[in-house]
Amino acid sequence: MTTPIYMDYNATAPIRDSVIEMVSLAMQTVGNPSSVHTAGRSVRRLVEEARVKVAALAGCRVRDVTFCSGGTEASNAVIRGSGAASIIISAVEHECGFAASKHAGVPTYVVEVDRKGLVDQNKLREMLREAPAPALVSVMLANNETGIIQPVREIADIAHEFGARMHTDAVQAAGKTPIDFNALGADYLTLSSHKVGGPQGVGAIITAPTAPLAPLVAGGGQELGRRSGTENVAGIAGFGVAALEAMDDLADMNRIGALRERFEADVTSHANNVCLIGLESPRTANTSCVAMPGVKGETQVMHFDLNGIFLSSGSACSSGKVKVSHVLSAMGYEDDTANASIRVSLGRLTTESDVDALIKAWISLYDRTAARVNS
């Protein structure tokens, strides 16, 4: 049986062997990190060592890292706990950002993006002039569907001109592009462990020293009162190992980017009507969003699955209903193109032969359907 080829790193990255070892070690270490006895201090040490490593990944102070259950909770905590009188969110944010905004209980504004997928900074200024102050501007650093990287520093500077605070969802950027919290100028930054090869169910909120954060979860005052509840010690310890190794992954991005470029070059040379999303914008090196005209994304996903290749459709499924990608719609693509998109996301284990198989399977499907679509 052919070994399956995994190309869905943006959904979740394969867990690292070193992470599994650390999680196992942490689970064998008995103690509550809030206990003051020797056993408790041993467990606390695992948490604090992980905090140092995650701070290094984010380029922030160690004390500004708050652990939580993942990227969704992290974004909810910021959007609902920043004390903002209004929220301005980009049209291409992750669904959790929109959902959190609906529950924040304050006016929410959606700022448009241009055809390149980049936030319209003039529209942002207009919204900041009319939005109740202080506002929270929420713009992701790298998009999960397209890999497009936003100019977060420029956006943060605009937000601060109007006395607003800035949140950036860096879940998809970690391990793919360098992150420097201070250089980005953001007030909040959110991360997820499983996107960098750590355990699922762990994330982090990074807060600037002056940024308020009302607790989403109240209780015993853990995590400096920002996120109560006994810490997920094993998960956090594993996240720390993954964070450290994710920084090493940056050196591999040139190789991964070359694989992505070869895939895109081969399919466009074979099919002149293929649509590659985000070519004119800076992108994470591992992500390709490509539309095959006339073939629904979910059909393509099934075709690749039958060929032992795992990737994602550009559209999202919820309650059994297929929805057009809000990201591609916001960029101005028609439904026919958005519905025909897939996302290929490569990673540290992707090889040349994997990409060979991807190209072969893509061309095979295109050739089978091109005559029907063009007739």
Residue 216, both tokens: 């989403």
Residue at 141: amino acid letter: L
Alpha carbons within 13 A on the beta-carbon side of 79: 34
Which helix (H) or strand (E) element contains residue 349?
none
pTM, whole model, 2 decimals? 0.95
Distance from C-alpha of 323 to C-alpha of 325, rounded to nearest angstrom: 6
Q: Which domains does the chain have, with CATH numbers?
A: 5-13+251-374 (3.90.1150.10), 17-248 (3.40.640.10)
The pLDDT assigned to 318 comes to 46
Catalytic, out of 60, 96, 289, 317: 317
Which helix (H) or strand (E) element contains residue 158?
helix 152-161
Render 209-275 in DSSP notation, one character per residue.
TT-----SS-SS-TGGGTS-S---HHHHHHHHHHHHHHHHHGGGHHHHHHHHHHHHHHHHHH-TT-E
Which residue(s) pair with 343 in the sheet?
A: 289, 312
Q: Is the dihedral of CA 45, 23, 172, 69 positive or negative?
A: negative
Distance from C-alpha of 182 to C-alpha of 373, rounded to nearest angstrom: 50
Write the Ramachandran bin of 56: left for phi over 0, alpha for psi from -120 to 50, otherwise beta.
Answer: alpha
The pLDDT assigned to 2 comes to 74
Residues of the chain with confidence (pLDDT) below 50: 317-320, 375
Q: Is 289 a catalytic residue?
A: no
The pLDDT assigned to 319 comes to 41
* Mean of the per-residue pLDDT values of the chain: 95
The pLDDT assigned to 315 comes to 52
